[in-house]
Homo-oligomer: A and B are copies of this chain.
Amino acid sequence: MTTIEDVARLAEVSTSTVSYALSGKRPISATTRRRIEAAVAELGYRPHAGAKALASARSDVIGLMVPLRAGIDVTVIMQFAGGVVLRAREHQHDVLLLTKDDLDGLERVTDGSMVDALVVMDVEADDARVPILQRTRQPSVLIGLPRMAAGLSCIDLDFEAAGRLAAHELARLGHQEIAMVGSPPEVLERHTSYADRVTRGFLGTADDEGVTARAVSCPVSPPEVDAVVERLLADSPGLTGLFVHNERALPHVLHALRERRRSVPKDVSLIALCPEDVALSQQVPLTSIDLPATTIGSLAVDMVMSRLADAAYPAETRLIAPTLTERASTRAPRGAR
């Protein structure tokens, strides 16, 4: 292994000079800097991460807590993670992968100074991780909104606004009876914050606009989705507008409608809340509200880096405004004015 001392010897300077040249924390003359850079290149020097962490109290690693049990909207998770990793690299940081339920792991990496900061995904209303995060030295940002988050930064799509937007758009098109197909029961039971919020927004706005609306939970297996759609159509014969926030059920919802001879968008208009590529890879390109997971991941990293750079930087909550893109799955209902 080549050390900073090797570099110093070859460049004929002291190790501290090498350190300063590399970190830029003190001015170094152009000529010695060049000599040092040459030595670094020649030896292929890379600082030892552990030594650096020990001496500087910075590991240059951020922790990312992901729900890793396959199943829940894998696409979304991967996009978040992708955004986080990419942006972390731009900030010269690596990413340590932690699983959502590994509370002990969380304490291990914070108390053991493995990570400088944390990004936490899939936050629930009363998330067990929140109290731990509140008492660690490391700044963290939650993707999602817990009930209580004093001192913690949060970021998320403004799901409530997304629900409102969907209801508003369906109402605007003239739909009088609409419904939301939401998250699987497990998710709702955990009170994963976004699920509650989107429902509230949807139902509230429908109410305001004088439109009949309901919201149903929806599992993800084809037969169960089919049953949900069956029941929905039976209970609401006049249903013409659907808002689906359930990535995995989405294709099966479309299939169930097709089976029942309900054409999208002729008989039923459908708005999806999902990543753009999911909306585009259905049989019909779906009018959708984008879930900009990559962007949110990147922003989460930016936030946490700001707090790392400046201890006085305040905790904040950011809600990303939803945008709706009209595609081929919505139109005015038959006989609308």
Contact = CB atoms under 8 A, between A and B. Distances in A.
Contact of A281 (B81, B89, B221, B282): B221
Contacts of A102: 89
A94 B89 contact: no
A89 B105 contact: yes
A106 to B, nearest CB: 11
A142 to B, nearest CB: 19
Interface in A155-173: none
Nearest to A69: B82
A151 interface: no
A222 interface: yes
Interface of A: 1, 44, 46-54, 59, 61, 64, 68-71, 74-75, 77-79, 81-82, 85-86, 89, 94-99, 102, 105, 107-109, 111-114, 220-222, 248, 251-252, 255, 275, 277, 280-283, 294
B68 A112 contact: no
A257 to B, nearest CB: 13
Contact of A222 (B52, B53, B283): B283
Interface centre among A46, A75, A79, A221 (most CB of B within 10 A): A46
Contacts of A109: 49, 94
B89 A78 contact: no
A87 B78 CA distance: 20
A97 B64 contact: yes
Given A49-B53, A82-B99, A251-B251, 6 more contacts: A46-B107, A49-B59, A68-B85, A74-B75, A95-B96, A97-B97
A95 to B, nearest CB: 5
Nearest to A226: B283
Given A1-B113, A64-B97, A75-B74, A49 B50 contact: yes
